[in-house]
Every structure is written in structure tokens, then in C-alpha cells.
């Protein structure tokens, strides 16, 4: 599932392509991927323009010239592609938004969605999300306050969108590795230690910033000639590397299940808190 770095990469690249271009057509191949009747959805978009692309947690929010918002959540298996009809990927699309000769293809929206909302409805939809980990207002002290009183494991805490927004399975494991902590570590134990909390905070910052700058781990390019998207995949230290040698200590990466979520870690150099 795309996480904060993947969606931030999409935001940056799309902002260079689609802003202020008139929307010339809309194709909906799966009604359940949108929240309006197809005709009403299309009428709202055709002739409209995207004036700003925002990311909130794992969502992209396309701000339209008429004040409405298109809210995208790709969920599991979702991705997008920008290109001409000749460049379109050999994949089924659920929604297509046309900008003249170029189209923004929405692919794999079986669980994901593209909803047309008012500004107020968008705020309400995002209201239960936790703060952004890379927000300029986030610091070690505020992060420590987020952990206070929390129970459970490090893994479940990091992926809980109500506590902090945008982190999922991949980057929770990468952050735990960077901090030298096992994903199964108890959050309350980390919160009781200033040293561990600060180490975790700095690990979160460094991993997410590096991953976003490298285009995240999703391998499919966003457009023809895109060599950035997915380039972080080969840099993952533990995620999806079960049985491989740890790049830090040479130990063997293991996979476990933590409350139904897979987690990858090195038992040799990641400690239990």
C-alpha cells in the first residue's frame, strides 16, 4: 500500500504536470470507486482545473478551481499513471481524467477511491487523522507527547493513523530498524525513556525524508521517463527481505506477525524495549 513517501512523490511530480490544465474528459469504469453518480461526477470535473495538489497522510487532495476537492486514497494495490493513450499501462483502469492529450489513469482502485467533496467534507474526512510526521511543527517533544499513555507494540503504534499519519507496514519496519528497536517493542517502554523516544523520532524523520526524496518503494513509474518513482525499493534495509543478510550487522532478517501485520526485523541488532 502506498504510504507517505509514495504519495508525497506523486504530489511533487503531478504538481509539475497537471496544475491549471483544463479537464477535458472523464471516464469511469467502476462506479464504486467514486462517490457520485457518474454523470454528476463528470459534469463537475469537465472544464474544471486542478490548482493545487496536497498530501494528507496517505491521501492526495486535488484542489479544484471551483472550490471542490478530489480526495484520493489508493489503499492496497492502487497506483496512478500520467501519460498519453499510447503510453497507457496494460492494466485495467477504474477512473480516467483527461487533460487534452494526456490522461491521469487511476489503476487498482478495488479498495481505494476517488471522492469528490466540498472543502468542509474534506476536512471532516481527515479530522480523525493524527499529525503529520514531517510537519514543520513536529519535533521530538511533540512526538514524545504522542507516545505518552499509549500501550501496545511499536509496530501497531506507528501504523495507527489516529496517532500519527502516513506510516504503514513498510516504513514502520524501516523506522524500527533505523532506531535499533524491534517492531514488537512495547510503546510504553519506549515512551518511558527519553533516549529511546528521541532515537525513534530521529529515525522516523530520516527514513521518511530519505524515502520521499528517493521516490518511495513502489516500482511502477508515474510517467514515461520517470526514473525516480520506486528507487527507494532497493534501499529498504529490512522490509520484505526475510532470510537475507542484515546490511548493518550481517544477521539474518526475520519475519513475524504482530497483531495480524507482517513485520521484518534483524534479531541480532534490533533490541526489545
Alpha-carbon Rg of the chain, whole angstroms?
Answer: 20
Compute, in degrees rounded to 10, the torsion defined by CA atoms 159, 78, 18, 60: -30
Dist CA 71 CA 91 (whole Å): 22
| pLDDT of the chain, 273 residues: tens digit per residue | 899 999 999 999 999 999 999 999 999 999 999 999 999 999 999 999 999 999 999 999 999 999 999 999 999 989 999 999 999 989 999 999 999 999 999 999 999 999 999 999 999 999 999 999 999 999 999 999 999 999 999 999 999 999 999 999 999 999 999 999 999 999 999 999 999 999 999 999 999 999 999 999 988 899 999 999 999 999 999 999 999 999 999 999 999 999 999 999 999 999 999
Dist CA 72 CA 50 (whole Å): 13
pLDDT of residue 52: 98
pLDDT of residue 220: 85
This prediction has a pTM of: 0.95
Amino acid at each position: 500500500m502506498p504510504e507517505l513517501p509514495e504519495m508525497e512523490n506523486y504530489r511533487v511530480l503531478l504538481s509539475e504536470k497537471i496544475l491549471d490544465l483544463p479537464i477535458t474528459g472523464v471516464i469511469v469504469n467502476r462506479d464504486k470507486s467514486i462517490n457520485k453518480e457518474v454523470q454528476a461526477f463528470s459534469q463537475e470535473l469537465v472544464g474544471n482545473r486542478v490548482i493545487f495538489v496536497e498530501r494528507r497522510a496517505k491521501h492526495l487532495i486535488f484542489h479544484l478551481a471551483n472550490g471542490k476537492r478530489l480526495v484520493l486514497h489508493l489503499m492496497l494495490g492502487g497506483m496512478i499513471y500520467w501519460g498519453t493513450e499510447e503510453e497507457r499501462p496494460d492494466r485495467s483502469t477504474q477512473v480516467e481524467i483527461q487533460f487534452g492529450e494526456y490522461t491521469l489513469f487511476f489503476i487498482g482502485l478495488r479498495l481505494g477511491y476517488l471522492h469528490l467533496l466540498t472543502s468542509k467534507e474534506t476536512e471532516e474526512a481527515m479530522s480523525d487523522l493524527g499529525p503529520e510526521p514531517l510537519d514543520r511543527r513536529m519535533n521530538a517533544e511533540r512526538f514524545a507527547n504522542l507516545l505518552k499513555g499509549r500501550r501496545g507494540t511499536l509496530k501497531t503504534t506507528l501504523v495507527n493513523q489516529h496517532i500519527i499519519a502516513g506510516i504503514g507496514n513498510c516504513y514502520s519496519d524501516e523506522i524500527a530498524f533505523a532506531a535499533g528497536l524491534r517492531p514488537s517493542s512495547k510503546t510504553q517502554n519506549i515512551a518511558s525513556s527519553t533516549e529511546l523516544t528521541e532515537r525513534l523520532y530521529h529515525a522516523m524523520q530520516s527514513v521518511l525524508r530519505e524515502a520521499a526524496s528517493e521516490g518511495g518503494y513502489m516500482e511502477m513509474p508515474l510517467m514515461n521517463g520517470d526514473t525516480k518513482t520506486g528507487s527507494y525499493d532497493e534501499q529498504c534495509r529490512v522490509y520484505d527481505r526475510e532470510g537475507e543478510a542484515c546490511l548493518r550487522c550481517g544477521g539474518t532478517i526475520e519475519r513475524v506477525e504482530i497483531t495480524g501485520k507482517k513485520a521484518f526485523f534483524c534479531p541480532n541488532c534490533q533490541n526489545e524495549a
